[in-house]
Amino acid sequence: MTWPQVKRLVPLLLIILLHIGFIYALLNGWLYQTEQVLPKAEQGLPKEVFVSLITVDNTPEPMPPEPQPTPPKPVPVVKQTITPPPVIPVINRTPSEQAITTPPVPPQPPVPPQPAVVAPPSEPVLSAPPMPATPPPPSQPKTVSTGVEYLQAPVPEYPPLARRMGEEGRVTLRVLVNETGRPTRVDVQKTSGSPRLDEAARQAVLHAMFKPHIEDGRATTVYAIVPITFHLDN
């Protein structure tokens, strides 16, 4: 009998011995004598019997795994390659009977000098007519920075958002005025620092009317420099 089997039989033998002792006590009247010793007030109380059950684990213990043999390490096979010796070509320097011989070239007689050929006189080459001169590009309009007069002066409107944000400054505009005094193009030459003020000044100048610029007795197109100032006080 192995030791694991003995360990499983010990709890079972203890349970059997406890049952035999309990039956022996009942047969000999030990429990009855205990009831007579107790006072009468306690004889009517139910008696408590404590029974402890011991569970026996019949699950066999797992056997330890048998050690697996270590497989032998594979021995690498080294393949040897045999390189054949280089083949040295044999050159036969002996002339063969079928060799082709080139006959010597006979000398050529001298070539007499050829008479010089005189080329006929060439005809005069007619030159192409000169291209007409391109007209000069039109001159840029004159820029007028002083003496700008209005028939209807620009009235800029202060943007409400710029007023609430406390924006003010001076905008310098470059205006192209045609012969009739109408502004055809307005560019911001120097910004005030606020895009809202710049655009308000530009729109005001576009709706203005200038006095035509007279030069040599006739109206001409000019660039006029117009400053617009925005102040929160006015």
Helices (H), 63-184: 160-164
On whether the CB atoms of residues 174 and 162 are closer than 8 A, the answer is no
Q: What per-residue confidence (pLDDT) applies to 77? A: 64
pLDDT under 70 in the chain at which residues?
1, 29-69, 71-82, 84-138, 234
- Each residue of 31-58: pLDDT tens digit? 555 444 445 444 455 555 555 555 555 5
What's the total number of domains in the chain?
2
Whole-model pTM over 0.75 = no
**Can you read off the two tokens belonging to residue 226?**
């117009």
Assigned domain for 9 exists? yes
- Specify the pLDDT at position 29: 64
Domain boundary residue among 16, 31, 59? Answer: 59
Residue 102 lies inside a defined structural domain of this protein: no
| Domain range enclosing 53 | 1-59
Listed residues 59, 74, 89: the one ending a domain: 59
Is residue 14, in this structure, part of any structural domain at all? yes
**pLDDT in the model for residue 56:** 53
Residue with tokens 């001409």: 220
Phi, psi of 215 (to 5 degrees): -140, 125
- C-alpha torsion angle, residues 35, 39, 44, 50 (rounded to 10): -50
Beta bridge partners of 177: 183, 222
Strand, coil or helix: 216: coil
Would 157 be classed as within a structural domain?
Answer: yes
Task: Look up residue 21 and give its amino acid.
Answer: G
Q: Give residue 233's pLDDT.
A: 85
Residue 141 has a pLDDT of: 86
Residue 176 corresponds to which amino acid?
L
Closest of 146, 173, 187, 183 to residue 229, by C-alpha: 173
Determine, yes or no, domain membership for 2. Answer: yes
Residue 193 DSSP code: S
Does the residue 91 lie in any domain? no
Q: What is the CATH number of the domain that holds 184?
A: 3.30.2420.10
- Which of 59, 85, 102 is the last residue before a domain boundary? 59
Sign for the pseudo-dihedral over CA of 170, 176, 182, 187: negative
Is 44 inside any structural domain? yes
Three-point CA angle 84, 90, 95, nearest 5°: 165
8 A C-beta contact, residue 54 and residue 14: yes
Looking at the domain assignment, is residue 158 inside a domain?
A: yes
Over the stretch 75-91, which tens digit does the pLDDT of each residue have?
Answer: 666 666 667 666 665 56
